[in-house]
Structures are given as C-alpha cells and as structure tokens.
C-alpha cells in the first residue's frame, strides 16, 4: 500500500484519524469530533472537515492530549507499520512528577504473606484496608 503525499490532496479528518489508527473505529473518531476533542490548527472541527498535508491535529483522549502533524494519506486502513508513516508525532513526553507512586514487589516473591499485608496496612493506613463488599449495611 502506498502513501499519498500529493500536496493538494485532502481527506476528511475522521477518515484520517481512523486510517492512521488513532481510533479503533471511524465511528469513535466521529464521536470525538462531535464532542469537541479534535482540533486542526487550533480550531475545533466537525468530522467532515477536510485536512491537508502539513496541518497539525490535536486529540484529547483518555486525559492526554496527542499532537500529530499530517505527512500523508492512505486510501484504506493499513497495518500499523505503514500508518505511522502518515504522521509525525509532536506529543510532548508526560511529566514524570504527575505520575503517582505505584508500590511494586520484587519479581518472584509471589503473593504477600499475612505479615506483609499487616506491614502494608500499617504503612498505608486506611488506604490499604479492604472495602466492605457486603451489600447489606448494619
């Protein structure tokens, strides 16, 4: 499958998002456009908006903003190795300070023992205590 890099070529933004594998289905890409989560060159767009090579597409998805520059078009949804050649990823790396601490156990230790669980509860306080799963409240 060949990538079309013709300068005057234009494609609908929802089709481009789908063919470059930004969204799993074209319907999800259309819904993102309707919800105002897609911007082209800083402007919110409808799904039928035409995009050309060189434009910047911003998509808010799962709490993260992705930024891509369009470098080509494909007629149908190709394999991912071809799809990545249709855009340049301009998304800045996430701030490591915003990621929370995730407790980890060394590999091969298996499940925590009762002693380990008590130490974790003592360290974490109320956060480590299991919630009451009984639906009946006394």
User: What is the β-pairing status of strands 56-61 and 50-52?
Assistant: unpaired
Residues in the chain: 138
At residue 104, the pLDDT reads 74
**What letter does residue 73 receive in the DSSP assignment?**
B
At residue 122, the pLDDT reads 85
Beta carbons of 37 and 57 less than 8 angstroms apart: no
Residue 5: pLDDT over 80 = yes
At residue 134, the pLDDT reads 60
pLDDT in tens, 40-59: 999 999 999 999 999 999 99
**What letter does residue 29 receive in the DSSP assignment?**
H
Using DSSP's 3-state secondary structure scheme, residue 40 falls into strand
Using DSSP's 3-state secondary structure scheme, residue 105 falls into coil
């Amino acid at each position: 499958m060949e990538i079309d890099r013709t300068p005057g070529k234009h494609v609908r933004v929802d089709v481009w998002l789908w063919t470059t594998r930004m969204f799993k289905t074209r319907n999800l890409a259309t819904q993102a456009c309707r919800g105002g989560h897609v911007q082209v060159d800083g402007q919110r767009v409808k799904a039928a908006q035409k995009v050309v090579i060189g434009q910047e597409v911003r998509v808010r998805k799962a709490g993260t903003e992705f930024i891509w520059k369009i470098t080509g078009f494909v007629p149908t949804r190709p394999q991912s190795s071809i799809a990545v050649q249709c855009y340049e990823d301009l998304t800045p790396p996430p701030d490591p300070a915003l990621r929370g601490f995730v407790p980890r156990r060394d590999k091969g230790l298996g499940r925590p023992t009762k002693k380990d669980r008590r130490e974790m509860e003592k360290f974490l306080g109320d956060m480590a205590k299991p919630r009451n799963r009984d639906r009946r409240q006394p």
